[in-house]
Amino acid sequence: MPAGVITRDCAEFLRIARASTTDFGPATAKAAFLVAPDGFAHAAQSASDNRYMAEAEAFDAARASRQHRDLQRALSASVPTLCFPGAPDTPDALFPNNVFATARTDARVPGQAPPRLIVGRMRHPVRQREAGRADIRGFFRDTLGYAEIDLSDQPHPCELTGALVIDRARGLGFCGLSERCDEAGAALMHEAFGLRATLLFDLAPGEYHTNVVLAVLAGRAALLCPDGFADAAVVEAIAALYAPNAVLLSSQEKQAFAGNAIALSEDVVWMSEAAVAGLTPANRSALAGAGFAVRGVALDAIEAAGGSLRCCVAEIY
């Protein structure tokens, strides 16, 4: 697979990005999978660098399970949505997008391998257990015929589409560095996804994942929360790339998880009910102007674990 460019230089990235046509692959996934919150509980290791997580007494496993079933039912209106069981020893497994991701073969390059399942390397041991799931690996390998790229045994954290937000239509990556992803891990993901260009940047202190502060929607719009980035120049570069459909979120909207959104089709953006309620009228109008209806699912019990709707969704390309 031809190597792309990975850089911290916003000007260089913008030059490549603006020259990248939307022929890299489908802008949205063909299906998705979830992992049920069967072991849902407060994970102290994850809480150590996730300021969005509630205290242990705020966790309601039964309510989280009901909301997760509602989420699967809702997302199935956009794409086929599968659900694997959870396990008591993996309390964060309901956020599988950090551990498992997929990438299509580039049809323009003859003789390539089949589509790929990418397995990430989690920072915390409590989440590293998830990468060993034989059922998920076997489903992609044996049922779907995907090749596997396993990053879970190397030492650099690379929490996949939590740390790396991808414009699938143009083959562009936006990778925020934190305790959950270092530069070497970012380079491994850039290569595994076969991206044309990846922009590296530091997240603001206290932010743990890029997908809380940035979402790229069907390759034509972006949600950004400026105070989630360490450098305002990065926000300006991403906003310039997606103008006029760059929607800037306030700190309050970010705290409600409005940035943790996903488009699974060309015309709908999904986020939690709290995120929808937190959107300003101007930003709701901006999404409508970009061609997106906004749909919400009640996820307050799940959000106690420090993630929201997008974190729950592993895309199948």
pLDDT digits (tens, 9 = 90+) for 135-184: 999 999 999 999 999 999 999 999 999 999 999 999 999 999 999 999 99
Measured CA to CA, the distance from residue 189 to residue 14 in angstroms comes to: 20
pLDDT at 109: 52
pLDDT at 45: 83
pLDDT tens figures, 119-138: 999 999 989 999 999 999 99
Report how far apart, in Å, the C-alpha atoms of 229 and of each of 72, 158, 174, 226, 310 are.
31, 18, 12, 6, 19
Measured CA to CA, the distance from residue 231 to residue 220 in angstroms comes to: 23
pLDDT at 106: 56
For the chain, list residues with pLDDT below 50. 1, 107-108
Measured CA to CA, the distance from residue 192 to residue 169 in angstroms comes to: 16
Output the DSSP codes for 12-28. Answer: HHHHHHHH--S-SS-SS
C-alpha torsion 207→209→215→219, nearest 10: 140
For residue 66, the 8-state DSSP code is H
The CATH class, in words, for 5-316 is alpha beta
Report how far apart, in Å, the C-alpha atoms of 269 and of each of 27, 62, 77, 126, 316 are.
13, 27, 12, 31, 17
